[in-house]
A = this chain, B = another copy of it.
Amino acid sequence: VNPAYVPESAEERRFLASYDPRAYDAIGVTVDVVVLTIRAGGLSVLLVNRTSFPHRGAWALPGGFVAVDEDLDAAAKRELAEETGLKLDGTGAGAHLEQLRTYGRPGRDPRMRVISVVYLALVPDLPTPGTLVRPALRGSARSGGSDASDARFWAVDDLAGEGAGALAFDHGSIVADAVERARAKLEYTPLATSFTAEPFTLGELRRIYEAVWGVSLHAPNFRRKVLSTPGFVLPVGERSEPGDGGGRPAELYRRGDATLLHPAFLRPPA
């Protein structure tokens, strides 16, 4: 019986009193989170090193079992914070969280039949304290009961080099699915802005596209296309500090209110 449900009639109450949920076999429900960010010019994914049995020592996505009265999104945020210290809530300046898909192949987890609802998060690479916190490192205070001891970002290109089979469970192919989703979403949504803190320059935005897609883009045309897409970015009216090796300071922008890009930003053909 579901404690979160409020009966609406006497008939409902009668039915629920005689209902046995144990009539169905138990299936475990977990959430996992693929956190992507841009580090050192490359797309990177946040992984945890497992300490307990299934795939002990292997790197895996942060995640865990859903509580019986807990919403799926909330479970994803909770497990992510518990295992890595990364908090997506708060003022939420830029972090994006969406459901990727659900993986349920029998035999994917040795403990029991488990289906995993996997979320995709896109976050800025913030080394400073703020609403987004760097993942906890070994030795920092953590609440007990978790499977993970250490968390770090891995460049997705390096993962392909070691072979996707190096990740625990089916997490290698899940990361591949997530990367492809992110690449596709940059084409028709303004989600590239979720990879950077505000305010940002158009050069930073362009380097995000270049890192995620693995291409180089023509800077002048990129600028024109972004500015001519309604609702993509809004000018702040200030200029950035100049960088090290010179270069003209860039104008600063923040996210616009568009959720879809018209026209779309298509990847250059092969």
Q: Interface residues, chain A, CB within 8 Å of chain B?
A: 1-2, 4-7, 12, 15-16, 19, 21-22, 24-29, 53-54, 65-72, 99, 101-102, 104-107, 109-115, 117, 262-264, 266, 269
Contacts and interface: CB of A to CB of B under 8 A. Distances in A.
Contact of A70 (B15, B19, B68, B106): B106
B26 A21 contact: yes
B26 A22 contact: yes
A114 B71 CA distance: 11
B28 A110 contact: no
6 contacts: A1-B111, A2-B114, A5-B107, A21-B28, A101-B101, A102-B117
A25 B68 contact: yes
A194 to B, nearest CB: 19
Copies of this polypeptide in the complex: 2
Given A15-B53, A269-B262, A68 B113 contact: yes
B5 A110 contact: yes
B27 A113 contact: no
A262 to B, nearest CB: 7
A55 to B, nearest CB: 10
Contacts of A72: 102, 104-105, 115
Contact of A2 (B15, B113, B117, B269): B113
Nearest to A72: B104
Nearest to A19: B111
B71 A104 contact: yes
